[in-house]
Structure 1
Amino acid sequence: MSVLQRCGLALSLALAWSVASARASGEQLERGNGPEPSTLDAHRCQEVACGNVLRDLYEGLVTEDARGRLVPGIAQRWTVSADGRTWTFVLRDGLRWSNGQPLDAPQIVASFRRAFAPATAAPFGELFDALTNAQAVQAGTLPPSALGVAAPDARSVVFTLTRSASLPALLTLPIAFPVYLPAVARFGAQHTRPGQLVSNGPYRLAAWTPQANLVVEKNPRFHDAARVAIERVRFQVTEDAAAELQRFAAGDLHLTEVVPPQPLASLRARFGAQLRISPYIGAFWLGMNLTRAPLQEQPQLREALSLAVDRDILTRHVTGLGETPAYGIVPPGIAGYTPASATWSTLTQAQRESRARALYRAAGYSNDKPLVIELRYNTSTPHRRLALAVAAMWRQVLGVQVRLRNEEWKVFVGNRKQRVITQVFRGGWIADVPDAGNFLAAFGSDGPLNWTGYDDAGFRARLAKADAAKSEAARNAWLHAAEVRLLNANAVVPLYFYTSKHLVSEQVVGFEANALDRHASRWLHLRR
């Protein structure tokens, strides 16, 4: 054995001993996290995998406790004007970045300006449509300095809105996290790498092994570090849900990101109270690319594809963990909002399939001239099972020839956003805030989240009416009207409403169910 080999072996043994020692002492939490995070740039994050990590690395002005309730973050308090359009946040005293540098209000303002600058292309910028000049800044028609956020002094951040809106919930999103701009200036896109990422949350980035895992360690400069119990957290890449389950069963994980489709009774028999299933504000749908053939200008064909899917079979036999059939975009459980449903949702499945065949023929397709279409999804056992089931239904009911396309997460996200090669694709939305508008806003612009390319002036007009509404009831009524119009266009195929599904080790204390399924590591500890 060469010297290099001996050194490498020694390093591997030392690392293994370190990890084992940390696990034995209860210092390291092992979390499944789904696919490889597409980025750790907080302003560019658009999926759960990066959001989970970023909520450990950063803290915004407002944050959430273990039960999902809004609590002070780096702001110790806030006030709102009588008209709901001016919000003032007062920072905690003595805030520090993970490198020890002071964090003040002007830096937070500068970070917001960077988030909304056109070059950043922040995917969630459109959710801040009420923030003064936010849309114009993102579009490049106004400079970032025109954004409705200011720092009158070192500890105050003031937001001005064009209408009354509940701003604190939006400030829990990664786009609102303060990013350390000196690191961005020095390292550019590489500011997210270990040794270069400077954060302000309960943890700091220690290591990142692509397609394997990401390790964060306790940040001693965090304002509430004394109450952060777990020293290190390792986020494991677990795209294969079945393999993730086996790793949990073997004791390699304390917490899974998902649970693969299996009979619920057998899962409960095997894992007992470690299986955690709870309501979740999320909708799963298949998107259709409306900017290209064969689905462009084919509303009858799109409706036929939606009608041909038996959602009861999907939720009973394919997903099978408490999900409910979906005939709309916005899930139940949002206070004050009545979700819309497709006009045909009250038909029997036999009636739906009969109508589907008639529409399919009217669109110019038949057994002799079948539709040939691609269904694209990211690597995942549940997504593969679902795609196979939908493809079988389309083939059986209509005679459609479906080509399944499986892609690694980052490739899939890029293709979906570009709308060039996609036809039908895995979509859906997990609530960022418990608000119906959060599920609809992406369809109202040509932004990076409008994966279907849906473009309808009537839909946008209804969203605008909702934005201008004087009461919450009127706003929800206009949002409902917008959802109805979107459903009538058959831009997506609603399939089911989510439940959150995790396996949680008996060693983990502090894991609480919440409607947004967010579980920051700072609220957890390990039973010794």
Structure 2
Amino acid sequence: MTLPKINLRAAILLGSLLIGASPALAEAVLHRGNAGEPQTLDQAQTSINIEEFILKDLYEGLTIYDAAGKIVPGTAESWTISDNGGVYTFKLRPDAKWSDGSPVTSDDFVFSYQRIQDPKTAAGYANILYPIKNAEKVNKGELPVDQLGVRAVDDKTLEITLEQPTPFFLELLAHQTALPVSKASVEKNGASFVQPGVMVSNGAFKLVAHVPNDSLTMEKNPEYWDAANVKLDKVIFYPIDDQAASVRRFEAKEMDLVYNFSADQIERLRQAYGDAVHVSPTLATYYYAFDSRNEPFNDVRVRRALSMAVDRDFLAKEIYSGSQIPAYSMVPPGIENYGEPSKADFADMSQLDREDKAIELMKEAGYGEGGKPLDIEIRYNTNPNHERVATAVADMWKNTFGAKVSLLNLDISSHYAYLQEDGKFNVARAGWVADYADAENFLALSVSSNKTFNYGKFNNVKYDALMKQSYTERDPAARKIILHEAEKILMQEQPIAPLLTQADLWLVADKVQGWQDNAPNQHLSKFLSVSQ
């Protein structure tokens, strides 16, 4: 049967309009490679960055990191701080809503922070919010949860009282542990509140599907207070821990972002994709700790000599293919409120001059050639790169001092359990990735009262006093000076030898707009867009 001529023309016209409109109607979808399957989507149980990347797209805390890695208002549009620095009052955005359309209230934050500290929740990162008054006591079951220092003044005003002034508190509130949950949803759905179709979130996106070990899909949240400025319709995360497979999918244009590819691919990928390869120094330090309880590592001259003899340029270039940079400070560069870290006094010497000075120091201490034998055991957690670093350092110490060096490796859990439970050692590999962008997070590791992370039991009265002073100093400029003085002591004493500043490796397709490398490694999808 033949269509009437007028209808045929209409059909042709309609078809041409649809074809012409299709680019404008195409969904803006970002395909994000993630370095593994998240173990949880419950912010109270989160612990690793591949979970953080997802959760911060779904939820929004009082503060957030912007595209450049700076702290800016999130769900809180503003805040005031009391004169003594002990009370923060946050004003929530009047148009802040959950994805089900209900308002985000101060009660939601009170509920969320109490839930984190409730011993029944068993939150692994509850200590992040310990600066809140009574948080540690609540978490240890010594006080009921209603004694936590958080209070809803009204629906859109939240008051948080601290144990003592905490200059980096706003950074803590941007941590994934401080992301809120919907009180109504958790009370109604229990543990299943994290499921697609059930989850109620307040971030730029909402969860619509999750196929474990395959993909996690989220769509733009129309109820989000800043939805008008969110340029993506959909974000799909792919949990791929096979680095080679991630790169192949990027090259096949199946993924727009790839996180943490193999360093030995840097040069090949740069030649093929140029600026799509991002090697971004991050807030993470790779270091060796010396056990200062044992001879000869209780002698500062020995510690300094061993640290000086390590050729960090070799480690960075030959073992990590330039994906990490030599480090001479415990605090990595890139912390805005700290500036350039205080480096060891030998940082600017040539490696040959360092080695000559190291030999002098070791002789002064009575070890090495012509002195007492130097027997050293290096402990490290099982990993091919860590083994290569330990082997290289062992050769450096052997060639420089005639030391006899042995290696001992354990799986990562056993390695850190041994160090954290006061196991004695000579030299131990360790690493620290910032929980928040403040120098204190790195320098607090070496305070004598830090029983968990001060592996070598460094004990320096002046250092402890400076760190204690930093917690009460409210003037940012004065606090910065105090922390630098502390780091100078640490680098002079060398209870730890910083070796490398780690870098985040990303592949970012040319079609992705809005990407900015930043030291905190914060890349919320709300700040990104894709060109068609």
Q: TM-score, normalised by structure 2?
A: 0.77
Q: Distance in 2 between matches of 1:418 and 1:238?
A: 33
Contact 1:289–1:451, Cα closer than 8 Å, also in 2: no
Contact 1:442–1:450, Cα closer than 8 Å, also in 2: yes
Task: Give the corresponding residue for 1:73.
Answer: 74
Q: Distance in 2 between matches of 1:373 and 1:69?
A: 38
Q: Distance in 2 between matches of 1:416 and 1:257?
A: 29
Q: Distance in 2 between matches of 1:448 and 1:101?
A: 44
Task: Give the corresponding residue for 1:376.
Answer: 381
The farther-off stretch of 146-155 and 222-231 is 222-231
SS state at 1:283 partner: strand
Structure of greater Rg: 2
Task: Give the corresponding residue for 2:443.
Answer: 440
Q: CA deviation at 1:140?
A: 4.7
Unaligned runs of 5+ in 2: 1-24
Task: Give the corresponding residue for 1:15.
Answer: none
What aligned pairs does 1:121-136 form with structure 2 within 5 A after superposition?
Answer: 131-136=132-137
The farther-off stretch of 170-179 and 25-34 is 25-34
Task: Give the corresponding residue for 2:455.
Answer: 452
Residue 427 (1) aligns with residue 431 (2): yes
Q: CA deviation at 1:466?
A: 1.0
Find the partner of 2:471 among 467, 472, 476: 467
Unaligned runs of 5+ in 1: 1-23
Task: Give the corresponding residue for 1:174.
Answer: 176
Q: Distance in 2 between matches of 1:452 and 1:194?
A: 42
Task: Give the corresponding residue for 1:402.
Answer: 407
Give the number of equivalent residue pairs: 499
Task: Give the corresponding residue for 2:15.
Answer: none
Q: Distance in 2 between matches of 1:360 and 1:237?
A: 52
C-alpha distance 179-261 of structure 1, shift in aligned 2 (>3 A): same
Q: Distance in 2 between matches of 1:438 and 1:321?
A: 26
Residue 527 (1) aligns with residue 528 (2): no
SS state at 2:314 partner: helix
Task: Give the corresponding residue for 1:494.
Answer: 498
What aligned pairs does 1:224-239 form with structure 2 within 5 A after superposition?
Answer: 224-239=226-241
SS state at 1:402 partner: strand
Q: CA deviation at 1:314?
A: 1.6
- Please, what is the CA RMSD of the aligned residues? 4.3
SS state at 2:285 partner: strand
Q: Distance in 2 between matches of 1:296 and 1:426?
A: 17
SS state at 1:76 partner: strand
Q: CA deviation at 1:475?
A: 1.8
C-alpha distance 115-287 of structure 1, shift in aligned 2 (>3 A): farther
Contact 1:332–1:339, Cα closer than 8 Å, also in 2: yes
Task: Give the corresponding residue for 2:41.
Answer: 40
Contact 1:291–1:452, Cα closer than 8 Å, also in 2: no
Task: Give the corresponding residue for 1:9.
Answer: none
The farther-off stretch of 172-181 and 260-269 is 260-269
SS state at 1:493 partner: strand
Task: Give the corresponding residue for 1:18.
Answer: none
C-alpha distance 527-346 of structure 1, shift in aligned 2 (>3 A): closer
The AA in structure 2 aligned to 1:439 is F
Q: CA deviation at 1:495?
A: 1.3
Q: Distance in 2 between matches of 1:38 and 1:455?
A: 35
Q: Distance in 2 between matches of 1:462 and 1:194?
A: 48
C-alpha distance 275-188 of structure 1, shift in aligned 2 (>3 A): same
Residue 96 (1) aligns with residue 97 (2): yes
Q: Distance in 2 between matches of 1:126 and 1:101?
A: 30
Q: CA deviation at 1:184?
A: 5.5
Q: Distance in 2 between matches of 1:445 and 1:58?
A: 37
Contact 1:32–1:255, Cα closer than 8 Å, also in 2: yes
Q: Distance in 2 between matches of 1:267 and 1:167?
A: 39
Task: Give the corresponding residue for 2:270.
Answer: 268
The farther-off stretch of 321-330 and 232-241 is 232-241
Contact 1:260–1:382, Cα closer than 8 Å, also in 2: no
SS state at 1:427 partner: strand
What aligned pairs does 1:76-475 form with structure 2 within 5 A after superposition?
Answer: 76-118=77-119, 120=121, 131-161=132-162, 162-163=164-165, 165=167, 167-181=169-183, 192=194, 194=196, 197-208=199-210, 210=212, 213-262=215-264, 266-278=268-280, 280-286=281-287, 288=289, 306-321=307-322, 323-333=324-334, 334-337=336-339, 339-342=341-344, 344-345=346-347, 348-351=353-356, 354=359, 362=367, 370-377=375-382, 386=389, 389-390=392-393, 393=396, 398-405=403-410, 424-430=428-434, 432-433=436-437, 435-444=438-447, 450=453, 452=455, 454=457, 456=459, 458=461, 459-475=463-479
C-alpha distance 484-37 of structure 1, shift in aligned 2 (>3 A): farther
C-alpha distance 89-369 of structure 1, shift in aligned 2 (>3 A): closer
Task: Give the corresponding residue for 1:56.
Answer: 57
Q: TM-score, normalised by structure 1?
A: 0.77
Q: CA deviation at 1:255?
A: 0.9
The farther-off stretch of 77-86 and 166-175 is 77-86
Find the partner of 2:515 among 493, 504, 511: 511
Q: Distance in 2 between matches of 1:282 and 1:92?
A: 30
Contact 1:274–1:503, Cα closer than 8 Å, also in 2: yes
Q: Distance in 2 between matches of 1:420 and 1:100?
A: 53
Q: CA deviation at 1:385?
A: 5.5
SS state at 1:145 partner: helix
Contact 2:87–2:160, Cα closer than 8 Å, also in 1: yes
Per-residue CA deviations over 1:306-363 (Å, capped at 9, x if unaligned) read: 3442101122333343743212211234445553334554653423663687699859
Q: CA deviation at 1:175?
A: 2.1
Contact 1:213–1:235, Cα closer than 8 Å, also in 2: yes
The AA in structure 2 aligned to 1:438 is N
C-alpha distance 72-268 of structure 1, shift in aligned 2 (>3 A): same
Q: Distance in 2 between matches of 1:452 and 1:506?
A: 44
Per-residue CA deviations over 1:132-167 (Å, capped at 9, x if unaligned) read: 444444455444333332111111112234337354
Q: Distance in 2 between matches of 1:237 and 1:426?
A: 26
Q: Distance in 1 between matches of 2:128 and 2:502?
A: 22
C-alpha distance 205-306 of structure 1, shift in aligned 2 (>3 A): farther
